[in-house]
Structure 1
Amino acid sequence: MAFGSESRLLTGDQIKCRTDVALVTNLVLNLCNAILCILLGRLLDYGIWGVAAATVVSNYIALAFGCYQIWRNLRLLPWVSESEDPFAKLDLSLVCSPEKLAKLASLNINILIRSVCIMVIVTDFTSLSAKLGSAALAGNNLLMQLQMLISFGADGFANAGEAMVGQAIGFGNSHRVRQVFGALMCWGLLLGLTFTALYVSCGRWILLALTSHREIVDYAEAYLPWQWCAPLLSFTAYLMDGLFVGATQPNKMRDATFLALLAFLVASHAVPEFSNDVLWGAFMLHLLVRAAVLVYWYKGIELAADERHSYYQSLLPSDSIDPDLAFRNLLRPTDA
């Protein structure tokens, strides 16, 4: 629920994206968790039970903070006066309608299926690495840490893209959708090239920072060039995921990941002479398929914004003198 309140602050349709508040909410969660873990787990010597209690309490603190921030930001809406409770006009029948709950459940189920597909890829990658020997298993696990760094670098941009494209579709603004897409692709290219340059120039030093076993580093370094290819493919796939979540089209993200899973399984299991290079090639192929399919389906996001705009236009009065003003009033809820 704490993450749900943070998500609401990131994706509110009528409120400006408050990524700063989402950051503070995360800081509150993690700082409280760290302080309480030290206090209960070490100083008061409650052990694992103290750490577990600290995690639960810190999540509830973050939930309370997030709910307060939602209430505070709802007061910024133009139709809510300073003395008015922003929840007074909340219609629970709309919030809890079966249609909306079913749509939310469908969205989360599709994201879950996508996550399961990725878990299958990672699990099969680890299993195949183990078949190549302990050195391959340890070396590939080390290289996977570099892949995790890429995902952490893309996470913030994907969340921002999710929020902005959701707002753009909510207002039926396909031009804004194109702007968000272009900005994300530019950032993806810049970050991809930055990570590639980092791995090319400092790859061995990063591996040495992750482990003290030089024999594992020597093995992993032989396959480090595969990680030079990973950033551009990874950033494109991860950022496009954010766009499709923001557009509430996770079914396409699910299908793209499923196709990527099939590509990985075929490439890694159908080759007669299996090797670690084949395994990494299959992993890069799955990233390429994910990125290419999502980019190919991107036009569907613009069409969704155009359809929303056409719907709003159909609701405007035909004798409206100022269509732009009428459109803004249309988005404002009534007092009823």
Structure 2
Amino acid sequence: MDTAGRRREILGLALPATVALAADPLLGLVDTALVGRLGTDELAALGVATAVFTTAFVVFNVLTYGTTARVAQLVGARRPDDAATFTVQAIWASLAAGLLVTTVLVIATGPILDLMGASGGMTEPATTYLRIRAFAAVPVLLVQVGHGALRGLKDTRTPLVVTVAANVVNAILSVILIHPVGLGVAGAALGTVIAQSLAAVTFMVIVRRRLPAPSLRPVPSQLATLARISRDLFVRTVSLVVGLAVLTAAAARIDTVAVAGHQVARELWLLSTLMLDGFAIAGQAMVGTALGEGDRERARADAWSLTRWGLGAGVVAMLVYLPLGDVLPGVFTTDPAVIETVGSVWLLVAFLQPIGGVTFVLDGVFMGAGDFTFLMGSTVTAVVVGLLPVIALALSRGWGLPGLWWSVVALMVIRVAAQLWRLRGVAWTEVAEGQATP
């Protein structure tokens, strides 16, 4: 493929994925903006409950990444029936995992929030929000499988349409349920559950039409394959989200204003990082398909092209964020103390964008190659060596929220350094050969 053709394919996959990823966290941003108007206690409660929810569900994004990589490899190898069979097993896994997560969150809400440092006026609204939103577990995981299967088929436009529609439904329901109906944080949670449920049903119908019709029964050998492919990515994701949950818990132990400010900064950071992740999705599909076809040189060329695109997108995001430090926080809260707290970490949020642009693209490249063992090792190392020690140091020295956010800088720098080192070699292009059995 020539340079122009590669550019067209990258943009054709990345741009719809970027818009979809930017729209997806609006489920959280809409809640943050609306709940922020209820008061600081409610906003702090949302921050803690959202961190718990993210920790509980994002660890299962192996369903998205594992499905994308495997479907892309199998389609590249001209094995669509195997791709369909693999997707069905991912659906069964999502049902089982979703029911388990819902049960744990509903039964153990109190101890979980205690562990997260929730106290005082934030405890009651956090409990209400978490127990209701827990019922989004199965829909969320089914949506993840739907995204993964369609991305593996190099279709990022359909997920965009479904995601935007879900966000529109969520926004309308949340506005109605929070204020006119008067449900408060319960209305925010309920609106999200309904929107995610409708999205899950839509994705399942679309995937059924796009892939051959395999048997719907669970296949133990295929489930074992899914577990084998996903286990390293699961450990990687658990280490990352638990580390970030520790960061939120550390902010909660400073005071209510600190955790409220952290919630706003965190949502805005996640919005930009997920937008940059659009190029990572292109990497999963392009590299997975190229290696499925046995074309290592194309996979390497695509990887380097995507890295440059990720860096450029990150620089653009940084330049957009830098002048908005006095504007964006006010969208989510009117509390001057919270706005000032967000401002104290705003430069770090902005300067993390170029690093994130490269990091997330290379995550996608290595996921497309099935190189999950490397991703696990590099991410766990970054959490243990970078994130957690800086959090502990910041708390012990009383550095406040800015000190805590330097832990995110340490995490990202270690990750990107390891990824660039790995990319220079060829070993990552050989991993998929060991996964030939679907």
Matches within 5 A, 1:226-245: 226-245=348-367
Pairing 1:162–2:284 present: yes
Equivalent of residue 206 in structure 2, options 52, 65, 69: 65
Aligned pair count?
281
The CA deviation string for residues 235-269 of structure 1, in whole angstroms up to 9 with x for no partner, is 22222221121111212111111111112112222
* Structure index of larger Rg: 1
Pairing 1:275–2:416 present: no
Judge conservation of contact 1:37–1:55 (CA < 8 Å) in 2: no
In structure 2, the CA distance between the partners of 1:68 and 1:114, relative to structure 1 (3 Å rule), is same
Q: Distance in 2 between matches of 1:148 and 1:306?
A: 32
Q: Which has the higher contact order (CA 8 A, sep 6+)?
A: 2
Pairing 1:265–2:265 present: no
The CA deviation string for residues 139-166 of structure 1, in whole angstroms up to 9 with x for no partner, is 2222212211122212322111111110
Matches within 5 A, 1:97-108: 98=221, 101-108=223-230
In structure 2, the CA distance between the partners of 1:305 and 1:173, relative to structure 1 (3 Å rule), is farther
- Residue equivalent to 1:303: 427
The CA deviation string for residues 10-46 of structure 1, in whole angstroms up to 9 with x for no partner, is 224xxxx222344345456667x669979xx99xx9x
Q: Give the TM-score normalised by structure 2.
A: 0.56
Q: Distance in 1 between matches of 2:398 and 2:170?
A: 45
Q: Give the unaligned 5+ runs of structure 2.
A: 1-141
- The farther-off stretch of 157-166 and 109-118 is 109-118
- Residue equivalent to 2:294: 172
Q: CA deviation at 1:178?
A: 2.2
Judge conservation of contact 1:268–1:274 (CA < 8 Å) in 2: no
Q: Give the unaligned 5+ runs of structure 1.
A: 72-86, 313-336
Judge conservation of contact 2:273–2:356 (CA < 8 Å) in 1: yes
Q: Distance in 2 between matches of 1:61 and 1:160?
A: 23
The amino acid across from 2:320 in the alignment is: L
The amino acid across from 2:376 in the alignment is: R
Q: Distance in 2 between matches of 1:56 and 1:280?
A: 34
- Residue equivalent to 1:145: 267
Q: Distance in 2 between matches of 1:291 and 1:65?
A: 36
Judge conservation of contact 1:174–1:303 (CA < 8 Å) in 2: no
Percent of aligned pairs with the same amino acid:
20
The amino acid across from 1:132 in the alignment is: I
- Residue equivalent to 2:155: 18
In structure 2, the CA distance between the partners of 1:179 and 1:219, relative to structure 1 (3 Å rule), is same
Judge conservation of contact 2:162–2:202 (CA < 8 Å) in 1: no
Pairing 1:4–2:145 present: yes
- Residue equivalent to 1:130: 252
SS of the equivalent of 1:297 reads: helix
SS of the equivalent of 1:204 reads: coil
Q: CA deviation at 1:105?
A: 0.8
The amino acid across from 2:273 in the alignment is: S
Pairing 1:286–2:430 present: no
In structure 2, the CA distance between the partners of 1:37 and 1:64, relative to structure 1 (3 Å rule), is farther
Q: Distance in 1 between matches of 2:278 and 2:284?
A: 10
Q: Distance in 2 between matches of 1:265 and 1:164?
A: 34
Judge conservation of contact 1:29–1:58 (CA < 8 Å) in 2: yes
The CA deviation string for residues 113-138 of structure 1, in whole angstroms up to 9 with x for no partner, is 22221222222111222233333222
Judge conservation of contact 1:171–1:308 (CA < 8 Å) in 2: no
Judge conservation of contact 2:370–2:431 (CA < 8 Å) in 1: no
- The farther-off stretch of 103-112 and 286-295 is 103-112
Judge conservation of contact 1:204–1:221 (CA < 8 Å) in 2: yes
Judge conservation of contact 1:9–1:70 (CA < 8 Å) in 2: no
SS of the equivalent of 1:284 reads: helix
- Residue equivalent to 1:223: 345
Judge conservation of contact 2:378–2:415 (CA < 8 Å) in 1: yes
The amino acid across from 1:265 in the alignment is: L
Larger helix proportion, structure 1 or 2? Answer: 2
In structure 2, the CA distance between the partners of 1:307 and 1:63, relative to structure 1 (3 Å rule), is closer
Matches within 5 A, 1:241-260: 241-260=363-382
Q: Distance in 2 between matches of 1:97 and 1:128?
A: 41
